[in-house]
Amino acid sequence: MTIKTVLLHAASETLDPDRSAGAYALGLAGAFEAHLEALVLELDVITPKGAYGHHIAAEERSRIRSRNEEVGVAAEALRMAAQKQGVKACVITDRSHVHSTPEIATDHARLADIAVAGVCDEGLLSERMVAEALIFQSGRPVIIIPVKNETGFRAERIVIAWDFSKVAARALSDALPLLRRASEVTLVSFGDDKDFASSLSPEDVIAALRRRDVEATFRQMERGNRDIGEAINAVTAECRADLLVMGGFGHSRFRDFVLGGATRTILTEPRLPTLISH
């Protein structure tokens, strides 16, 4: 198992090859000598007039047209950065107006090994909405990147949120190519958060990882009065982690996402790059 294709979704307003999701995806693709497919999509210039007054609708369409003019500039900057770093990349800007941006992103992600997405909720396009669609609809692991992430791709120290659940197992498996490259892997469980209905012990998990060429340690923690997401963030800070790996709890229906507590906290304001599988 390795990474051969990386899918990046980023809004033109936030795309920067030197920081955040753009820099991370370029670094990830370069580290694995993988192909990078980047979606920097235009938005639909058609605005339903019934939702606004005619004047407001016209202003909205003007904003979208201006935003779409910036897409080409952002895409070219990413192409140039990929060429400079020796990364084979394809940048897609055109979109079919029959499909929404989240639908297009999830379709492309299904053919990739891993996706990288920003979570900025400002501007004309919510990156977070697209990231949620990728997590719950693509069937692929997604690494979400904080808006102000400046470090690019790093995965020397990895923390895994482990609760013996099927989504945690899926995340563990999806992260194996990254775990094999890490120098320090820590599995963390919070004993006061939920009852673990498993016949397995932490030693069983560590042994299974060792058979897959991953050396790891296990830490049993107490959440106390903290939100589970904040407790996880505290552990990653203590471990000086470069990457958090976790299962994504939640489901979607008509894009109304119902998220688990940790998933909601991490998606709203991730403290570090986080691989989420569902």
For 157-277, CATH gives: 3.40.50.620
| pLDDT tens, position by position, 180-202 | 999 999 999 887 555 566 788 88
Asked if residues 192 and 223 have their Cβ atoms less than 8 Å apart, the reply is yes
Closest CA to 85 of 146, 41, 4, 24: 24
Phi, psi of 2 (to 5 degrees): -145, -175
Place of tokens 């390795």: 2
For 5-145, CATH gives: 3.40.50.12370
67 pLDDT tier (thresholds 50, 70, 90): low
| pLDDT tens, position by position, 94-119 | 776 667 888 999 999 999 999 999 99
- Is the fold of 5-145 the same as that of 157-277? yes
Please tell me the pTM assigned to this model: 0.87
Q: Rounded CA gap, 160 and 241, in Å? A: 10
Q: What is the mean pLDDT of residues 55-72?
A: 66
Q: What ranges make up the beta strands (E) of the chain? A: 5-9, 35-39, 89-92, 114-118, 142-145, 157-161, 184-190, 216-221, 243-247, 250-253, 256-259, 274-277
Domain residue limits, the chain:
5-145, 157-277
